[in-house]
Amino acid sequence: MPERTMFTMGDIACAEGALSAGCRYFGGYPITPATEIAEWMAVRMPELSGAYVQYEDEIASITSVIGASWAGIKAMTATSGPGASLMMEAVGLAVMTETPIVIVNIMRGGPSTGQPTRGQQGDVLQAKWGSHGDYQIIALTPASVQEMFDLTVRAFNLSEKYRVPVFLLADEIVGHMREALVIPDEKSLKLVSRKMPKSEPSEYLPFKPDDDLVPPMALLGTKYQFYATGLTHDERGYPTDSDEVQIELVTRLNEKILRHIDEITEVERYFLDDAEIAIVAYGTPARSARRAVKDARAKGIKAGMLRLKTVWPFPEEPIAQLASDVKHIIVPEQNMGQVYYMVRAFAAPTPVHLMTKPAGTPQLPDEILRKIMEVHAK
Protein backbone atom coordinates (compact mmCIF):
# COMPACT_ATOMS: atom_id res chain seq x y z
CA MET A 1 0.00 0.00 0.00
CA PRO A 2 1.31 3.51 -0.81
CA GLU A 3 1.83 6.14 1.87
CA ARG A 4 -1.34 7.32 3.58
CA THR A 5 -2.20 9.74 6.35
CA MET A 6 -4.80 9.19 9.05
CA PHE A 7 -5.91 11.18 12.06
CA THR A 8 -6.05 8.44 14.60
CA MET A 9 -5.53 7.10 18.08
CA GLY A 10 -2.23 5.85 19.49
CA ASP A 11 -3.66 2.38 20.06
CA ILE A 12 -4.76 2.15 16.44
CA ALA A 13 -1.41 3.44 15.22
CA CYS A 14 0.20 0.64 17.22
CA ALA A 15 -2.05 -1.96 15.59
CA GLU A 16 -1.30 -0.54 12.15
CA GLY A 17 2.40 -0.54 12.96
CA ALA A 18 2.19 -4.21 13.85
CA LEU A 19 0.37 -5.03 10.62
CA SER A 20 2.91 -3.05 8.60
CA ALA A 21 5.68 -4.96 10.36
CA GLY A 22 4.12 -8.19 9.14
CA CYS A 23 2.28 -9.25 12.28
CA ARG A 24 -0.44 -11.71 11.32
CA TYR A 25 -1.40 -13.14 14.68
CA PHE A 26 -2.94 -11.29 17.59
CA GLY A 27 -3.87 -13.15 20.76
CA GLY A 28 -5.48 -11.08 23.46
CA TYR A 29 -8.00 -10.46 26.18
CA PRO A 30 -9.82 -7.10 26.29
CA ILE A 31 -8.63 -4.56 28.83
CA THR A 32 -8.84 -0.78 29.10
CA PRO A 33 -6.94 1.18 27.82
CA ALA A 34 -5.56 -1.32 25.30
CA THR A 35 -8.90 -2.60 24.01
CA GLU A 36 -8.82 -0.42 20.91
CA ILE A 37 -5.80 -2.38 19.70
CA ALA A 38 -7.75 -5.64 19.95
CA GLU A 39 -10.80 -4.12 18.32
CA TRP A 40 -8.77 -2.76 15.43
CA MET A 41 -7.02 -6.09 14.99
CA ALA A 42 -10.38 -7.88 14.96
CA VAL A 43 -11.35 -5.77 11.94
CA ARG A 44 -8.02 -5.69 10.13
CA MET A 45 -6.60 -9.18 10.64
CA PRO A 46 -9.25 -10.99 8.56
CA GLU A 47 -8.65 -8.53 5.68
CA LEU A 48 -5.03 -9.68 5.67
CA SER A 49 -5.79 -13.37 6.29
CA GLY A 50 -4.28 -13.05 9.73
CA ALA A 51 -5.82 -14.20 12.97
CA TYR A 52 -7.41 -12.24 15.77
CA VAL A 53 -7.92 -14.71 18.58
CA GLN A 54 -9.57 -13.77 21.83
CA TYR A 55 -8.49 -16.01 24.66
CA GLU A 56 -9.89 -16.84 28.07
CA ASP A 57 -7.17 -14.82 29.79
CA GLU A 58 -3.85 -13.08 29.27
CA ILE A 59 -1.82 -16.16 30.14
CA ALA A 60 -3.36 -18.06 27.25
CA SER A 61 -3.01 -14.98 25.03
CA ILE A 62 0.73 -14.59 25.42
CA THR A 63 1.43 -18.32 25.41
CA SER A 64 -0.47 -18.70 22.15
CA VAL A 65 1.57 -15.82 20.75
CA ILE A 66 4.73 -17.75 21.62
CA GLY A 67 3.22 -20.75 19.81
CA ALA A 68 2.33 -18.74 16.72
CA SER A 69 5.86 -17.35 16.61
CA TRP A 70 7.33 -20.87 16.64
CA ALA A 71 5.06 -21.69 13.74
CA GLY A 72 6.72 -18.84 11.85
CA ILE A 73 4.18 -16.05 12.13
CA LYS A 74 5.00 -12.65 13.59
CA ALA A 75 2.73 -12.37 16.59
CA MET A 76 1.77 -10.02 19.36
CA THR A 77 -0.48 -9.36 22.30
CA ALA A 78 -1.64 -6.13 23.91
CA THR A 79 -2.74 -5.52 27.46
CA SER A 80 -2.55 -3.24 30.49
CA GLY A 81 -1.33 -3.66 34.08
CA PRO A 82 -3.50 -6.50 35.38
CA GLY A 83 -2.97 -8.47 32.18
CA ALA A 84 0.74 -7.69 32.12
CA SER A 85 1.01 -9.11 35.63
CA LEU A 86 -0.63 -12.34 34.48
CA MET A 87 1.73 -12.57 31.53
CA MET A 88 4.95 -12.44 33.47
CA GLU A 89 5.62 -16.17 33.74
CA ALA A 90 5.27 -16.52 29.98
CA VAL A 91 7.62 -13.59 29.40
CA GLY A 92 10.24 -15.76 31.07
CA LEU A 93 9.32 -18.66 28.80
CA ALA A 94 9.78 -16.44 25.74
CA VAL A 95 13.13 -15.24 27.09
CA MET A 96 14.32 -18.77 27.84
CA THR A 97 13.15 -20.26 24.54
CA GLU A 98 14.36 -17.12 22.69
CA THR A 99 11.02 -16.48 21.07
CA PRO A 100 10.44 -13.26 19.13
CA ILE A 101 7.17 -11.74 20.35
CA VAL A 102 5.85 -8.24 20.93
CA ILE A 103 3.94 -7.33 24.08
CA VAL A 104 2.14 -4.00 24.18
CA ASN A 105 1.35 -2.57 27.59
CA ILE A 106 -0.81 0.56 27.56
CA MET A 107 -0.09 1.48 31.15
CA ARG A 108 -2.93 2.47 33.43
CA GLY A 109 -3.11 3.45 37.08
CA GLY A 110 -2.18 0.75 39.59
CA PRO A 111 -1.67 -1.16 41.83
CA SER A 112 -4.37 -3.74 41.19
CA THR A 113 -7.38 -2.60 39.17
CA GLY A 114 -6.30 0.96 39.92
CA GLN A 115 -7.62 3.53 37.48
CA PRO A 116 -8.51 1.72 34.26
CA THR A 117 -9.18 4.84 32.22
CA ARG A 118 -6.30 6.90 33.55
CA GLY A 119 -2.71 6.54 32.55
CA GLN A 120 0.43 6.01 34.52
CA GLN A 121 3.97 4.76 34.03
CA GLY A 122 3.94 2.26 36.83
CA ASP A 123 4.95 -0.85 34.91
CA VAL A 124 8.40 0.16 33.69
CA LEU A 125 10.32 -1.85 36.24
CA GLN A 126 7.87 -4.73 35.93
CA ALA A 127 8.67 -5.04 32.24
CA LYS A 128 12.29 -5.63 33.14
CA TRP A 129 12.06 -7.51 36.42
CA GLY A 130 8.53 -8.95 36.39
CA SER A 131 9.44 -12.52 35.57
CA HIS A 132 11.76 -14.50 37.79
CA GLY A 133 15.43 -15.07 37.10
CA ASP A 134 18.09 -12.94 35.46
CA TYR A 135 17.32 -11.83 31.96
CA GLN A 136 17.15 -8.96 29.52
CA ILE A 137 14.21 -7.81 27.47
CA ILE A 138 13.78 -4.75 25.30
CA ALA A 139 11.23 -2.02 26.07
CA LEU A 140 10.39 0.97 23.88
CA THR A 141 8.56 4.08 25.07
CA PRO A 142 6.62 6.05 22.46
CA ALA A 143 5.47 9.61 23.13
CA SER A 144 3.26 10.31 20.11
CA VAL A 145 0.80 8.63 17.80
CA GLN A 146 3.44 8.48 15.07
CA GLU A 147 5.84 6.78 17.45
CA MET A 148 3.17 4.27 18.42
CA PHE A 149 3.43 3.17 14.81
CA ASP A 150 7.16 3.58 14.29
CA LEU A 151 8.23 1.96 17.54
CA THR A 152 5.85 -0.96 17.08
CA VAL A 153 7.54 -1.67 13.76
CA ARG A 154 10.87 -1.37 15.53
CA ALA A 155 9.68 -3.65 18.33
CA PHE A 156 9.02 -6.41 15.79
CA ASN A 157 12.36 -5.85 14.09
CA LEU A 158 14.27 -6.02 17.35
CA SER A 159 12.39 -9.06 18.59
CA GLU A 160 13.12 -10.90 15.35
CA LYS A 161 16.73 -9.87 15.27
CA TYR A 162 17.58 -10.77 18.86
CA ARG A 163 14.96 -13.47 19.45
CA VAL A 164 13.66 -11.73 22.52
CA PRO A 165 10.31 -10.45 23.79
CA VAL A 166 9.99 -6.72 23.17
CA PHE A 167 7.64 -4.52 25.16
CA LEU A 168 6.00 -1.40 23.86
CA LEU A 169 5.33 0.62 27.01
CA ALA A 170 2.95 3.49 26.40
CA ASP A 171 0.96 5.44 28.94
CA GLU A 172 -2.79 5.78 28.51
CA ILE A 173 -2.59 9.32 27.13
CA VAL A 174 -0.32 8.26 24.28
CA GLY A 175 -2.54 5.22 23.67
CA HIS A 176 -5.77 7.16 23.55
CA MET A 177 -4.92 10.51 22.02
CA ARG A 178 -5.44 11.22 18.35
CA GLU A 179 -2.85 12.84 16.11
CA ALA A 180 -1.92 12.70 12.47
CA LEU A 181 -0.27 9.42 11.52
CA VAL A 182 1.71 8.89 8.35
CA ILE A 183 1.79 5.23 7.39
CA PRO A 184 4.76 4.94 5.06
CA ASP A 185 4.75 3.14 1.76
CA GLU A 186 5.08 -0.57 2.40
CA LYS A 187 8.18 -0.78 0.29
CA SER A 188 9.99 1.91 2.21
CA LEU A 189 9.71 0.07 5.54
CA LYS A 190 12.78 -1.85 6.65
CA LEU A 191 11.59 -5.13 8.09
CA VAL A 192 13.72 -7.72 9.83
CA SER A 193 13.01 -11.43 10.04
CA ARG A 194 14.65 -14.00 12.27
CA LYS A 195 17.61 -16.01 11.06
CA MET A 196 16.72 -19.48 9.87
CA PRO A 197 19.12 -22.42 10.19
CA LYS A 198 21.27 -23.25 7.19
CA SER A 199 22.73 -26.45 8.57
CA GLU A 200 21.52 -29.93 7.74
CA PRO A 201 18.66 -31.06 9.98
CA SER A 202 20.84 -33.84 11.36
CA GLU A 203 23.46 -31.30 12.42
CA TYR A 204 21.10 -28.63 13.69
CA LEU A 205 21.70 -27.50 17.25
CA PRO A 206 18.70 -25.34 18.13
CA PHE A 207 20.40 -23.29 20.83
CA LYS A 208 23.89 -22.96 19.44
CA PRO A 209 24.46 -19.24 18.90
CA ASP A 210 26.23 -17.56 16.01
CA ASP A 211 28.86 -14.90 16.65
CA ASP A 212 26.17 -12.36 17.48
CA LEU A 213 25.10 -14.72 20.31
CA VAL A 214 21.72 -15.33 18.63
CA PRO A 215 20.99 -18.89 17.44
CA PRO A 216 19.20 -19.42 14.12
CA MET A 217 15.59 -20.44 14.72
CA ALA A 218 13.96 -23.47 13.14
CA LEU A 219 10.19 -23.63 13.03
CA LEU A 220 7.81 -26.28 14.27
CA GLY A 221 6.54 -28.60 11.57
CA THR A 222 9.68 -28.47 9.43
CA LYS A 223 12.41 -30.98 8.66
CA TYR A 224 14.24 -29.71 11.72
CA GLN A 225 13.37 -31.63 14.85
CA PHE A 226 14.11 -30.01 18.17
CA TYR A 227 13.01 -29.67 21.75
CA ALA A 228 12.50 -26.23 23.19
CA THR A 229 11.93 -25.95 26.90
CA GLY A 230 11.74 -23.40 29.65
CA LEU A 231 14.13 -25.60 31.59
CA THR A 232 17.81 -24.76 31.48
CA HIS A 233 19.06 -26.45 28.34
CA ASP A 234 22.26 -27.05 26.43
CA GLU A 235 22.84 -26.27 22.77
CA ARG A 236 20.82 -29.33 21.79
CA GLY A 237 17.90 -27.96 23.78
CA TYR A 238 18.17 -30.74 26.33
CA PRO A 239 17.46 -30.01 29.99
CA THR A 240 20.33 -30.14 32.42
CA ASP A 241 21.17 -29.40 36.04
CA SER A 242 24.75 -28.46 35.20
CA ASP A 243 26.14 -25.29 36.74
CA GLU A 244 28.29 -24.62 33.69
CA VAL A 245 25.40 -24.82 31.24
CA GLN A 246 23.20 -22.65 33.45
CA ILE A 247 25.89 -20.00 33.75
CA GLU A 248 26.65 -20.10 30.04
CA LEU A 249 23.00 -19.88 29.03
CA VAL A 250 21.99 -17.11 31.42
CA THR A 251 25.09 -15.13 30.54
CA ARG A 252 24.37 -15.44 26.83
CA LEU A 253 20.69 -14.50 27.20
CA ASN A 254 21.83 -11.31 28.90
CA GLU A 255 24.85 -10.66 26.74
CA LYS A 256 23.06 -11.03 23.40
CA ILE A 257 21.13 -7.88 24.34
CA LEU A 258 23.75 -5.97 26.32
CA ARG A 259 26.43 -6.44 23.70
CA HIS A 260 24.15 -4.68 21.21
CA ILE A 261 22.98 -1.99 23.58
CA ASP A 262 24.19 0.88 21.38
CA GLU A 263 22.28 -0.44 18.43
CA ILE A 264 19.13 -1.08 20.45
CA THR A 265 18.78 2.02 22.59
CA GLU A 266 17.47 5.25 21.09
CA VAL A 267 17.33 8.62 22.77
CA GLU A 268 16.30 12.06 21.53
CA ARG A 269 18.43 15.04 22.48
CA TYR A 270 16.66 18.35 22.87
CA PHE A 271 18.53 21.60 23.58
CA LEU A 272 21.32 19.72 25.27
CA ASP A 273 24.37 21.26 23.61
CA ASP A 274 24.97 23.88 26.28
CA ALA A 275 22.50 22.66 28.89
CA GLU A 276 23.25 22.90 32.59
CA ILE A 277 19.99 21.33 33.73
CA ALA A 278 18.70 18.30 31.90
CA ILE A 279 15.35 16.56 32.08
CA VAL A 280 15.33 12.82 31.49
CA ALA A 281 11.83 11.70 30.54
CA TYR A 282 9.80 9.34 28.36
CA GLY A 283 6.18 9.11 27.22
CA THR A 284 3.73 11.90 28.03
CA PRO A 285 5.81 13.61 30.75
CA ALA A 286 8.49 14.15 28.06
CA ARG A 287 5.95 16.24 26.16
CA SER A 288 5.38 18.42 29.21
CA ALA A 289 9.13 18.63 29.67
CA ARG A 290 9.67 19.82 26.11
CA ARG A 291 7.45 22.78 26.83
CA ALA A 292 9.10 23.43 30.18
CA VAL A 293 12.53 23.47 28.53
CA LYS A 294 11.33 26.04 25.99
CA ASP A 295 9.89 28.21 28.75
CA ALA A 296 13.03 27.89 30.85
CA ARG A 297 15.18 28.91 27.88
CA ALA A 298 12.93 31.97 27.46
CA LYS A 299 13.85 32.87 31.04
CA GLY A 300 17.53 32.49 30.26
CA ILE A 301 18.00 29.13 32.00
CA LYS A 302 20.08 26.64 30.06
CA ALA A 303 17.76 23.66 30.20
CA GLY A 304 17.51 20.66 27.89
CA MET A 305 16.00 17.21 27.67
CA LEU A 306 17.14 13.70 26.97
CA ARG A 307 14.05 11.76 25.90
CA LEU A 308 14.24 7.99 26.21
CA LYS A 309 12.66 6.04 23.37
CA THR A 310 14.16 2.87 24.80
CA VAL A 311 14.12 2.19 28.54
CA TRP A 312 15.35 -1.44 28.44
CA PRO A 313 18.14 -2.18 28.01
CA PHE A 314 18.78 1.01 29.91
CA PRO A 315 20.71 3.63 27.90
CA GLU A 316 23.59 3.71 30.36
CA GLU A 317 26.14 5.44 28.18
CA PRO A 318 23.96 8.41 27.10
CA ILE A 319 23.00 8.98 30.73
CA ALA A 320 26.59 8.82 31.94
CA GLN A 321 27.60 11.25 29.19
CA LEU A 322 24.73 13.57 30.04
CA ALA A 323 25.66 13.51 33.70
CA SER A 324 29.18 14.64 32.90
CA ASP A 325 27.85 17.47 30.72
CA VAL A 326 25.22 18.99 33.03
CA LYS A 327 25.00 20.14 36.63
CA HIS A 328 21.60 18.71 37.49
CA ILE A 329 19.24 16.09 36.15
CA ILE A 330 15.49 16.14 36.75
CA VAL A 331 13.40 13.01 36.19
CA PRO A 332 9.63 13.54 35.98
CA GLU A 333 7.72 10.26 35.90
CA GLN A 334 4.07 9.32 36.12
CA ASN A 335 4.87 7.02 39.02
CA MET A 336 6.71 7.04 42.34
CA GLY A 337 10.08 6.90 40.59
CA GLN A 338 11.21 3.95 38.48
CA VAL A 339 13.55 5.00 35.68
CA TYR A 340 14.83 7.53 38.23
CA TYR A 341 16.75 4.82 40.07
CA MET A 342 18.43 3.73 36.86
CA VAL A 343 19.33 7.32 35.99
CA ARG A 344 20.78 7.80 39.46
CA ALA A 345 22.87 4.66 39.12
CA PHE A 346 24.59 5.92 35.99
CA ALA A 347 24.59 9.67 36.66
CA ALA A 348 26.47 9.65 39.95
CA PRO A 349 27.83 11.96 41.30
CA THR A 350 25.65 14.45 39.37
CA PRO A 351 22.54 15.16 41.47
CA VAL A 352 19.32 13.65 40.13
CA HIS A 353 16.00 15.15 41.21
CA LEU A 354 12.88 13.05 41.08
CA MET A 355 9.41 14.39 40.34
CA THR A 356 6.82 11.76 41.23
CA LYS A 357 3.20 11.74 40.12
CA PRO A 358 1.43 8.40 40.32
CA ALA A 359 -1.66 9.79 38.61
CA GLY A 360 -3.52 10.07 35.34
CA THR A 361 -2.47 13.66 34.78
CA PRO A 362 1.27 13.83 34.23
CA GLN A 363 3.51 16.61 35.46
CA LEU A 364 2.24 19.78 33.79
CA PRO A 365 4.74 21.95 31.90
CA ASP A 366 4.53 24.61 34.61
CA GLU A 367 5.29 22.12 37.34
CA ILE A 368 8.43 21.01 35.54
CA LEU A 369 9.37 24.61 34.85
CA ARG A 370 9.06 25.41 38.54
CA LYS A 371 11.32 22.47 39.35
CA ILE A 372 13.87 23.67 36.81
CA MET A 373 13.84 27.11 38.39
CA GLU A 374 14.13 25.66 41.86
CA VAL A 375 17.10 23.53 40.87
CA HIS A 376 18.63 26.45 38.97
CA ALA A 377 18.52 28.56 42.13
CA LYS A 378 20.62 25.99 44.01
What does the binding site for another protein look like in residue numbers (CB under 8 A)?
5, 7, 24-25, 27, 32-33, 46-47, 49, 51, 53, 55-57, 59-61, 63-73, 75, 89-90, 92-93, 97, 116-118, 173, 176-180, 218-231, 236, 238-239, 284, 287-288, 290-291, 294, 361, 364-365
Q: Give me the least distance between CB of 258 and another protein, in Å please.
A: 25
Residues 6+ apart with CB under 8 A from 41: 15, 18, 26, 28, 52
Q: Give me the least distance between CB of 220 and another protein, in Å please.
A: 4
Q: Give me the least distance between CB of 91 and another protein, in Å please.
A: 10
Q: For another protein, which is the closer residue by CB, 179 or 266?
A: 179
Give one DSSP letter per residue of 48-59, joined into a string.
TT-EEEE-SSHH
Q: CB-side exposure of 104: number of CA atoms within 13 Å?
A: 40
Q: Give me the least distance between CB of 256 and another protein, in Å please.
A: 21
Kindly list the distances between the CA atom of residue 173 and the CA atoms of 16, 90, 213, 285, 357, in Å, as whole numbers in the listed order: 18, 27, 37, 10, 14
Q: For another protein, which is the closer residue by CB, 207 or 226?
A: 226
Residues 6+ apart with CB under 8 A from 251: none
Q: For another protein, which is the closer residue by CB, 89 or 276?
A: 89
Give one DSSP letter per residue of 321-344, joined into a string.
HHHHH-SEEEEE-SSSSSHHHHHH
Residue 327 near residue 142, CB atoms below 8 Å: no
Q: For another protein, which is the closer residue by CB, 97 or 105?
A: 97
Q: Give me the least distance between CB of 105 and another protein, in Å please.
A: 17
Q: For another protein, which is the closer residue by CB, 140 or 145?
A: 145
CA distance 161 to 107: 26
CA distance 22 to 191: 8
Q: For another protein, which is the closer residue by CB, 58 or 123?
A: 58
Q: For another protein, which is the closer residue by CB, 41 or 65?
A: 65
Residue 287, SS3 per DSSP? helix
Q: Give me the least distance between CB of 374 and another protein, in Å please.
A: 20
Q: Give me the least distance between CB of 190 and another protein, in Å please.
A: 24
Other Cβ atoms within 10 Å of 55 Cβ, number: 16
Length of the chain: 378
